[in-house]
Amino acid sequence: MGGEERRRSLWGWGWADKIPDAESTRNLAVQIAGVLGVAESDLPEPLTPPDPGALSLPRPRIRPADAPPGLSTILDGSDAVRAAHTYGKAYRDIVRGLHGDYAPAPDLVATPTEEAQVEQILAWCDARRHVCIPFGGGTSVVGGVEAGPAAADRPPTISLDLRGLDRVHEVERTSGLARIAAGATGPILEGQLARHGFTLRHYPQSFEFSTLGGWIVTRAGGHFATGYTHIDERVASVRMLTPTGWWESRRLPGSGAGPSPDRLVCGSEGILGVVTEAWMRVAKRPRWRSKATVHFTSYEDAVAATRAIAQSGLMPANCRLLDHREAMLNMVASGDVAVLLLGFESADRPMETPLLRAVTLAKDFGGRLPEGSVRHADDEAEERAALPRPVGGDETWRAAFIDAPYLQSALATLGIIVDTFETACTWDGFEALHAGIVRAVKGAMREACGTGLITCRFTHVYPDGPAPYYTFIAPGRTEALLEQWAAIKTAASEAILAGGGTITHHHGVGRTHRAWYDRQRPDPFAAALRAAKRAVDPNGILNPGILVDP
Amino acid sequence: MGGEERRRSLWGWGWADKIPDAESTRNLAVQIAGVLGVAESDLPEPLTPPDPGALSLPRPRIRPADAPPGLSTILDGSDAVRAAHTYGKAYRDIVRGLHGDYAPAPDLVATPTEEAQVEQILAWCDARRHVCIPFGGGTSVVGGVEAGPAAADRPPTISLDLRGLDRVHEVERTSGLARIAAGATGPILEGQLARHGFTLRHYPQSFEFSTLGGWIVTRAGGHFATGYTHIDERVASVRMLTPTGWWESRRLPGSGAGPSPDRLVCGSEGILGVVTEAWMRVAKRPRWRSKATVHFTSYEDAVAATRAIAQSGLMPANCRLLDHREAMLNMVASGDVAVLLLGFESADRPMETPLLRAVTLAKDFGGRLPEGSVRHADDEAEERAALPRPVGGDETWRAAFIDAPYLQSALATLGIIVDTFETACTWDGFEALHAGIVRAVKGAMREACGTGLITCRFTHVYPDGPAPYYTFIAPGRTEALLEQWAAIKTAASEAILAGGGTITHHHGVGRTHRAWYDRQRPDPFAAALRAAKRAVDPNGILNPGILVDP
């Protein structure tokens, strides 16, 4: 790799150059402190990120030279590379990184560029009982790619970085399918698909960094707010290497032959095998788009309107409801309204009619359209006319959505805790679940931090319920961030379980959610999953401690 | 049960009184013989169905009195009841029934009416190592509910008939969900849902007899030709009793917490547990319907048009393409055209616009609309105006669809082999797969029967491929039907595997498809499934031989 390459932040989210500098961070923190009722003078001295060149990592137990001949060239035991593979980008990871704590660092990092090398690495790990942790974009926000507690008897650990496998191998135009290597990130695979006139249209917040394989094994949630929300639905077949051989399904549009093998891979979080490629359902780039931003004074009305739209069969691509505070923080409104972002798209035909029907449903529940909030775009016509871009609503929200993780990282240096969590529930259970979560999180923030703010948006909605996504912001103490965060996170997770929700709608389980996941899933299913893992990974080398006990 | 109750045929499909009588059967057989080029005089003497009162069944190895106190009242060891639970309704089953062969009969039939009894039965079977075969509507066409070969060392076998658990327990209107007992048949659950203004809208061909639990464990394909085609998509949560305890998932609209437990139940064909109830996604009854029948001279054009519609995002409820012969046999056309049946439905809004867009796409590929073939219905307006029903097309096809299994049964008595099989494949693979199947089946029919006919329709279509459904008809010899049928079925199955299809799109695996299923699925997945079964059914009592080896 060239020295001029843009650098990823070691401790924080994304590109190092996109994390606000000290001055911008302070300005932002002052603003937030104001909202939280905290005096500027109470902001702590900022934490200084560790010098990447002077990290203190545990001594590696194995070296590249310990590997079979031919593998040493794709193994890296340097502190910098090991540190970059120690964590994902969960709030805990950012704080531990800021404090220079890299105790769970892997002993080696493998960077294969072809499947044969993945086979060799896995065979070596299996023979030596080394732990192998598949690593994609390293954007897990739930501790999905870190080794277990750094106990003395923990076996040597290899982080298997798959980003060297990043090609769109082939595009099959007739069926709209593409065979894509698992290590391709969003921009890489979309760039290659675009040359064929196709798109996967899967845009998680981590799109720029996360990989197809990571999306599949964590059941990532994407662009579509209704219908095919999870990546699961776009998988036509998957190729996964297990310690006992290749697990490869047939490329099929649908099947009824036994339980779906692909559905056991989706969500398996690296415990069953290493996904190396998948046939994905891709589509023509949409040409027509219709959008609207709808305001509601009453949140209850906004929820009812969103439900009506979710149950109408209209299946909007975008149907995101921001509560009053969320809309304000994202600067799409000034705090007096909840905002529903609606969007339809099609490569086949104009989308005015379904949008207007959805808007009518929203109006039935008191929704109001701010001037200029409805917009119909025809990409070809737009290119000719160079229409002006609209202001507010959708575009503003999208920019805030992309930047949010950078702000989270920056604010951590000033002790401000910002984190998100998500769930899903039935419509009839939402009001009580929501109230329970808000009560629990506010209580925990008050107790741990003195005060705090919680906002909610629906990222995805279904005929039978929404997927509410929460952001909490609280003023922490830089030396106690992990404890304060854990108290709030635990309160949130308990409230989710008690209210009938799921511990995760699309972030995954990892190490963070494991305790609640265990209580949520059926016990016999847990037994079945443990047994399934033992059958394909008899030595338990793959991501031990994730989903099931080693 | 009262003596006046309508009687199910012991050997044939459905209601005994709906199987054509000897004279009608002969008239039909003469017509078909004409199409096949077989002289009427070559039709054999008809087989006489066995007298249900004088069957020769193997002696039962256990009696109701052998069960723990309290269970004997729900156990039946009579020959008539055991015979009715020996088979499903596969072609092999009909022929074996006609010949009075009930060798694999279960020793006892259990008929619980509450979950506690299911628990008792399963505990008893597990303690005694009796085999337990969950039995729903008994409509399996793949040998999914019959015991293995009647070896002397086969353990005593209980057929667990779940039709006594048939209530819609509750309807949760806000989220559009209903908790339904697994033994409810289509008409029973739809009748109860209708009182609440809801419908599940899952109409497999077996709708009248098959049960919700059966649909779930076989991944039944239903009413919707696009989008949510399989019952899997309608399951919000499921409750299943395993020998090691209850497997019950949370009622969630979506989740990303590990691999989906429900998706391992869907398609499990009774080997992991006994599904007793499920929360199902139900919907308001559609009010607006728009339909069209489109004719194509060229089958290739018809396939291309169907693909364009499947990839348009329009998601018609009905999108069934009948090839020239299928359209003729179903009397929707006279053999000179392929026929595409299109239908849209909505409880929310009129469907003219999407239908007309789909029709335009069809016309782009040479589709023609016979006079009166486009129809828009508004159920409320229709009620007021009592509009005349249209002729031909959709309605004609629907009647033929419901009656087909009765004709299959009747024709078996005159040695005419009629059976169906289905698969799914990608669009780019369809032409070769279809040619391979037609070639193989024609060749096998010629060799085994001298001649034969094969037709094709698409029952479901996806953006990435169709689910072709084949019917074959050949003149057999009444004494050799099983061998002749097996030769044709084997040729079809081999052609499916060779052409990249799936051995079943929605009929299931059962005993009929097992050999090809084993070759189709990934080996490590087979190992995982075997291990999962062993974990939840350590004594291997549930439906042994299905999906995995005992």
Sequential DSSP letters for B220-275: -B-S-SSSS-BGGGGEEEEEEEETTEEEE----S---SSS-HHHHHTT-TTSS-EE
Considering CB atoms only, which of B229, B261, B281 is closest to A463? B281
B chain contacts of residue A509, beta-carbon cutoff 8 Å: 257-258
Chain B residues close to A505, C-beta within 8 Å: 254-256
With a pLDDT cut of 90, the percent of chain A lying above it is 90
Position B401 scores a pLDDT of: 78
pLDDT at position A3 over 90 = no
Q: Which among A408, A398, A330, A329 has a CA at the least distance from the CA of A9?
A: A408
What pLDDT is recorded for position A392?
52
**Nearest chain B residue to A530, by CA:** B532
Tokens of A260: 């779906």
β-bridge partners, A457: A322, A469
Q: What are the structure tokens assigned to B184, written together?
A: 């409810």
| Residue A392: Cβ-neighbour burial (10 angstroms; 0-12, 13-18, 19+) | middle
pLDDT in tens, A479-529: 999 999 999 999 999 999 999 999 999 999 999 999 999 999 999 999 999
Query: A302: Cβ–Cβ under 8 A, 6 or more apart, which residues?
Result: A296, A321, A323, A338, A340, A365, A367
Let me know the angle formed at the C-alpha of A507 by A503 and A512, rounded to the nearest 5 degrees: 60
Q: How many CB atoms lie within 10 A of CB A7?
A: 11
Is there a contact between B220 and A256 if contact means CB atoms under 8 Å apart?
yes
- Tell whether the model's pLDDT for residue A277 goes beyond 70: yes
Tell me whether residues B424 and A272 touch, CB distance under 8 A.
no
If we measure between CA atoms, which residue out of A172, A232, A237, A225 comes closest to residue A198?
A172
Distances B254 to A391, B249, B281 between C-alpha atoms, Å: 33, 12, 12
Task: Answer yes or no: are the C-beta atoms of B207 and B186 closer than 8 Å.
Answer: yes
Mutation to test the B interface, candidates A262, A349, A464, A520, most B Cβ within 10 Å: A464
- What tokens were used for B72? 């004997």
A385 in helix, strand or coil?
helix
Chain A residues inside the 8 Å CB shell of B433: none
Whole-number Å distance between alpha carbons of B202 and B207: 8
Q: How near does any CA of chain B get to the CA of A207, in Å?
A: 17
∠ CA B369-B375-B377, rounded to 5°: 170
**How many inter-chain contacts (A to B, CB under 8 Å) are there?**
297
Closest alpha carbon within chain B to A548: B258
Which residues, including other chains, have CB under 8 Å from residue A58's CB and lie 6 or more apart? Answer: A102, A103, A105, A150
CB contact under 8 A, A230 and B256: yes
The pLDDT value recorded for residue A385 is: 56
* Whether B357 contacts A353, CB under 8 Å: no
Query: Which of A427, A506, A532 is the closest to B175 by Cβ?
Result: A427
**Which contiguous run of DSSP H or E holds residue A93?**
helix A91-98
Q: Which residue of A has its CA nearest to B509?
A: A257
- Mapping DSSP to helix (H, G, I), strand (E, B) and coil, where does residue B218 land? helix
Which of A255, A277, A360 is most worth mutating to test chain B (most B CB atoms within 10 A of its CB)?
A255
- What is the distance between the alpha carbons of residues B375 and B293, in angstroms, rounded to a whole number? 9
What value does the mean pLDDT of chain A take?
Answer: 94
Length of chain B equals: 550
Interface of B with A in 176-205 (CB under 8 A): 176-177
For helices A481-498 and A91-98, what crossing angle results, to 10°? 170
Closest chain B residue by Cα to residue A230: B256
DSSP annotation of B133: E
Inform me whether the pLDDT recorded for A436 exceeds 90.
yes
**CB < 8 Å to A527, chain B:** 244, 535-536
* Residue entry with tokens 């036994």: A258
Q: Which of B227, B245, B531 sits opposite A523 (nearest CB)?
A: B245
Q: In what order do the strands lie in the sheet with B168-172?
A: B168-172, B177-181, B274-281, B235-242, B245-248
Q: Which two tokens stand for residue B366?
A: 């040479």
A85 touches A106 (CB < 8 A): yes
Residues 238-257 of B with CB under 8 A from A: 242, 244-257
Q: Which residue among B176, B256, B529 places its CB closest to the CB of A463?
A: B176
Q: Please choose, from the candidates B456, B199, B423, B172, the residue with its C-alpha nearest in 3D space to the C-alpha of residue B303.
A: B456
- Kindly give the interhelix angle for A352-364 and A299-310, rounded to the nearest 10 degrees: 140
The C-alpha angle with vertex B90 and arms to B85 and B95, in degrees rounded to 5, equals 85
Other C-beta atoms closer than 10 Å to the C-beta of B284 total 16
Whole-number pLDDT of residue B1: 41
- Please count the residues of chain A: 550
Q: Residue A410 pLDDT > 60, yes or no?
A: yes
Three-state DSSP at A105 gives: coil
Q: Which of B503, B487, B494, B492 is nearest to B441 (CA)?
A: B492
pLDDT of residue A291: 96
Q: Which residues contact A396 (CB under 8 A, 6 or more apart)?
A: A330, A331, A332
Over residues A141-147, the mean pLDDT reads: 97
Position B222 scores a pLDDT of: 86
Does pLDDT of A382 surpass 80?
A: no
**Phi then psi for A201, rounded to 5 degrees?**
50, 50
pLDDT, greater one: A289 or A387: A289
Q: Shortest CA distance to A11 belongs to which of A86, A115, A123, A114?
A: A86
Interface of A with B in 444-503 (CB under 8 A): 460, 462-467, 500-503
Cβ(A321)–Cβ(A339) below 8 Å: yes
Nearest-angstrom CA–CA distance, B342 and B331: 17
Four-residue CA torsion sign, A269, A270, A273, A275:
positive
pLDDT band at A388 (very low <50, low <70, confident <90, very high): very low
Q: What is the 3-state secondary structure (H, E, C) of A212-237?
A: HHHHHHCCCECCCCCCCCEHHHHEEE
Task: Grade residue A223 by pLDDT with cuts at 50, 70 and 90.
Answer: confident
> Which among A346, A508, A530 has CB closest to B313?
A346
Give the 3-state secondary structure percentages of chain A, helix then strand then coil, rounded to 5.
35, 20, 45
Segment holding B447, helix H or strand E = helix B427-449
What digits encode the pLDDT tens for the residues A310-362?
A: 999 999 999 999 999 999 988 889 899 999 999 999 999 999 999 999 999 99
Q: What is the pLDDT along chain B (550 residues), one digit of tens a residue?
A: 444 689 999 999 999 999 999 999 999 999 999 999 999 999 999 999 999 888 999 999 999 999 999 999 999 999 999 999 999 999 999 999 999 999 999 999 999 999 999 999 999 999 999 999 999 999 999 999 999 887 778 899 999 999 999 999 999 999 999 999 999 999 999 999 999 999 999 999 999 999 999 999 999 998 899 999 999 999 999 999 999 999 999 999 999 999 999 999 999 999 999 999 999 999 999 999 999 999 999 999 999 999 999 999 999 999 999 999 999 988 889 899 999 999 999 999 999 999 999 999 999 999 999 998 999 998 777 655 554 444 456 677 677 777 899 999 999 999 999 999 999 999 999 999 999 999 999 999 999 999 999 999 999 999 999 999 999 999 999 999 999 999 999 999 999 999 999 999 999 999 999 999 999 999 999 999 999 999 999 999 999 999 999 8
For residue A464, list chain B residues with Cβ-Cβ distance below 8 A.
Answer: 175-177, 236, 253, 281
